[in-house]
Amino acid sequence: MGCDGGTIPKRHELVKAPKKVEKVDKNAELAAQWKYCALSQEKLRRPIVACELGRLFNKDAIIEYLLDKTAERPNTQTVAHIRGIKDIKELNLTDNPEWEGERRNTKGDRYEDFNCGMFICPVVGLEMNGKHRFCYLQTCGCVFSDRALKEIKTDICHKCGDAFKNEDVVVLNGTKEEVEKLREKMEERRTKAKTKKSKKSKAAEAVSTPSESKDDTQAPQVDVTEISLQNGGESSQTAVAGSSSSSKGTKSSTSSATKRSVQEMTEKSEVFKSLFTSHSSAKRTKDQTSNWVTHTPYHF
């Protein structure tokens, strides 16, 4: 039964207590969201892009994923909604002057603030470290804190001056509820884009159909003549006579037009040739010529 050799067991060794749920460190979770790429898990470095759901990525990692989607990568679920480069936006971030980079505490002789962010809000000055809510604009890619957008309510970007709407504001690293709302908006935008493309394709088809309709309108004339021939009336003869007269009229008009054009060309050429002494109009007759030899240019 145990307890040999005078061992005295304790309570926690005999009674098995339920395991405690492991809690994730908040600082580590925030650092993973705001300082590391959501796809490659590497540190964020410029150029930094964001998707329509507000997740941060390195642009190089997204391009590699789009070039080869069959390769095995971790966290591919986070980029399943990205179809191409148009689905991401490059962010226009403002550097934090207090951020010294990785070399700030090489000796380890001073306090290191892990909550210090690489970027800040250009209006209020809040650090983008996860403790404050940040948003970006889909029109220009500028990043601001939510407090700045609430305090200064305008329809123009505070940094670059481009106009935007409330629909263009996307929350960065939002909660699950916010991500679901952003996903619904993304699906709505994509459905609208599909309807626009379908309307454009229909309009292009409508433009190409008139030429075909003209050919269709000319074809039934043969059927009319056939019907008149079957009836055996005089309408067939009149139709044939009318067609022959119309063909003769068109031929005569074309021939007269060609004759006029030839006459005009000959007249123009004769006028041009009359400028030179070799032309017949410049030559003298026998009555005008003298018997003796002269050196004038009019003697031929």
pLDDT at res. 104: 59
Query: For the chain, which residues make up each domain, given as ranges?
Result: 26-100+113-198
pLDDT at res. 239: 41
| Beta-ladder partners of 135 | 144, 171
Please list the ranges in the chain whose pLDDT falls under 70: 1-5, 102-114, 209-268, 272, 275-300
Give the separation between CA 88 and CA 53, rounded to whole angstroms. Answer: 10
pLDDT tens per residue, range 6-39:
778 788 788 887 877 777 777 778 878 898 999 9
Upper half-sphere CA count for residue 22 (Cβ side, 13 Å):
1
Give the separation between CA 209 and CA 154, rounded to whole angstroms. Answer: 48
Pick the CATH number of 26-100+113-198 from 3.30.470.20, 3.40.50.10320, 3.30.40.10, 2.60.120.380: 3.30.40.10
pLDDT at res. 230: 46
Nearest of 90, 87, 77, 89 to residue 189 by alpha carbon: 87
pLDDT at res. 16: 80
User: What is the value of pTM for the model shown?
Assistant: 0.59
7, 103, 113, 129 from 110: Cα distances, Å: 48, 12, 10, 21
Residue partners of 167: CB distance under 8 A and separation at least 6: 185
Q: The tokens of 153 are what?
A: 């309510």
pLDDT tens per residue, range 131-180:
899 999 999 999 999 999 988 888 899 889 899 998 899 999 999 999 99
Give the separation between CA 283 and CA 241, rounded to whole angstroms. Answer: 56
pLDDT at res. 144: 94
Give the separation between CA 273 and CA 283, rounded to whole angstroms. Answer: 13
